[in-house]
Homo-oligomer: A and B are copies of this chain.
């Protein structure tokens, strides 16, 4: 080894040591720690958590996927699990406790300090899909009669415990929500002024605990809020939903819509166990077989026609695909519309009319294109016309069905996306095959 090489090796080595030292001093963000933990085998996860300070363990675990949280808590000793849950914000702790099986849940809860246990038990009573189920109970509550300076002093005392106190809420004597002040308002107000004077009642936006969480996400997005207060039947303040939770809700809902549409589970991801996906998708695949059987039965009605004119079987996939695709375009736009805006019945049905116009024009253009192509290839004018008529008609049915299915599902109280693509295909296939084979029977074979 030359001296120069040795020298450069030494340099490299010092760099490595320096890096290791600096990284050990640097504090890891809980979200990154969570990713690190998720990458470990379960025994190593437990070891890693044991050597962390309880506070850091709580913060990191709160950022983990719920499936990984569950696996970890099934393997931690119950005393440590209880200590960690006590240090989490109650809503995060509740999300974890909720997934444990009843026996383990009871065992761990019994080891949690009474105050924290009471809080978690209360939160467990809310439906996880509602505002109550996603709210955070660590809220700064102030009396309207405080001065700005008193309010700041109170916040300084409390802030250690509270997650994101960018707003403080004012309540009246009976605990009912009376107004909101932002930290920013407090910071820039004249000293001595009373909170009462800062209240802007007109902008007091809140939801009841049983409001759908998707609606909560829409409100926070609509009004650009950082947090939205949640109240009970008597408008008493229960907690707040914060914007970071809303980001998770929006992602979840988008995945749910896209995956439910084709019969995959809303909460599947590339991280879910593959057996979970098998179990969730299989029932919809069975329903899809049954639905396809309807389309097959339509074709069966015309087996004689096909035996005489096998070219019809060649054209069948084109009709089915085109109508299916136009329908899916309408379906996608409608599902996203329902996901991003508050539902207005009239506006939604106007959107169906809009799709009808789109389907008419696109159907006409594609039909003419296909008519010309079929004629060019077969030189059979009647066949070309029959094909293009069936295609155009089915594309129209496609957009109508695509736009209506989510609305009908919504009207009957179901998830507007659920299996919508499967139902759509059944309709477009059956109508398409019936039109093509029926028209062919009448005009080509004179049946």
A→B interface (CB under 8 Å)? 26-29, 31, 152, 155-156, 159, 165-166, 183-184, 186-188, 200, 202-203, 205, 220-224, 226, 243-244, 246-248, 250-251, 254-255, 257-259, 261-264, 268-270, 274, 277-278, 281-282, 284-286, 288-289, 291-293, 295-297, 299-300, 303-304, 306-307, 310-318, 320-322, 324-326, 328-329, 331-337, 339-340, 347-348, 350-351, 354, 357-358, 361-362, 365-366, 369-370, 373, 421-422, 425, 429, 433
Contact = CB atoms under 8 A, between A and B. Distances in A.
Most-contacted residue by chain B among A28, A220, A284, A285 (CB, 10 A):
A285
A48 to B, nearest CB: 19
A351 B317 contact: no
Contact of A310 (B156, B251, B304): B304
A332 B259 contact: yes
A414 B411 CA distance: 38
Nearest to A422: B325
Contacts of A340: 251, 255, 269
A336 B258 contact: yes
25 contacts: A29-B223, A31-B222, A159-B184, A186-B187, A221-B244, A224-B244, A226-B226, A243-B244, A250-B254, A254-B254, A261-B332, A269-B340, A274-B354, A277-B329, A285-B325, A288-B322, A292-B317, A296-B317, A297-B314, A299-B314, A303-B311, A320-B320, A321-B429, A325-B421, A328-B421
B282 A365 contact: yes
Nearest to A160: B188
6 tightest A-B CB contacts, nearest first: A254-B254, A270-B351, A262-B328, A313-B313, A264-B329, A224-B244
A423 to B, nearest CB: 12
Contacts of A320: 317, 320
A303 B165 CA distance: 71
B220 A322 contact: no
Contacts of A328: 262, 421
Given A187-B183, A320-B320, A365-B282, A264 B303 contact: no
Contacts of A262: 325, 328-329, 331-332
A313 to B, nearest CB: 4
B358 A274 contact: yes
A251 to B, nearest CB: 5
Most-contacted residue by chain B among A254, A282, A331, A369 (CB, 10 A):
A254
Given A226-B226, A270-B348, A317-B433, 20 more contacts: A27-B202, A28-B202, A31-B224, A166-B226, A221-B247, A226-B243, A247-B250, A254-B257, A254-B339, A259-B333, A259-B336, A269-B333, A277-B333, A285-B362, A286-B366, A292-B317, A293-B373, A295-B321, A296-B314, A299-B314
A274 B403 CA distance: 13
Contacts of A306: 306, 310, 313
Contacts of A281: 326, 329, 358, 362
B29 A203 contact: yes
B314 A300 contact: yes
A273 to B, nearest CB: 9
Given A156-B187, A159-B188, A321-B291, A220 B202 contact: no
Contacts of A313: 299, 303, 306, 310, 312-313, 316
Contact of A248 (B221, B274, B300, B332): B221
A258 B332 contact: yes
Contacts of A422: 325
A200 to B, nearest CB: 8
A225 to B, nearest CB: 8
A337 to B, nearest CB: 4
